[in-house]
Amino acid sequence: MRSLKIITLFCFIFLYQGQRIIMSAHPVSEAEGGLNQTEFEVTDSLYKAFTVSTNQNGVNILCFEEFEFKNPINLEEFPVGSFVRCGGILQKIEFNPNKSKIWILRLTVSDAFARNPNLPIGQ
């Protein structure tokens, strides 16, 4: 039954490629590779954020999320421990090539944005 859900995901997720999406909110962290947290990174004035989303027990990685920001963001708006919600254009979708359930998929989101999850949509 579980594999049917992955097949269903595989069939429908590509409908969202090229579309604007918004992901669940996560706490901001400085811990590299932290689970169910978002880490911001600035390298050579390129802004990125990374999230590793797991199942409830933290055993399986459901999704690696990489957000590539077109414009600089004010990281002071997202201090460690606060929550952030990221989104943008779903650019790339990659499934685990060996089909193990250790991790299921990797998403790359371009033209990304970061927002306070408590703000109404549009602000």
| 3 state DSSP class of 29 | coil
Q: What is the pLDDT along the chain (123 residues), one digit of tens a residue?
A: 455 477 777 778 888 999 999 999 999 999 888 899 999 999 998 999 999 999 888 888 989 999 999 999 999 999 999 999 999 999 999 998 888 878 889 999 999 999 999 877 665
Distance CA 63, CA 9 (A): 12
Distance CA 50, CA 64 (A): 7
- Label residues 71-101 b or e (16+ Cβ within 10 Å = b): eebeeeebeeeeebbbbbbbeebeeeeeeee
Right CATH for 2-115 from 3.90.25, 1.10.3470, 2.60.40, 2.40.50? 2.40.50
Q: Hey, where are the domains in the chain?
A: 2-115
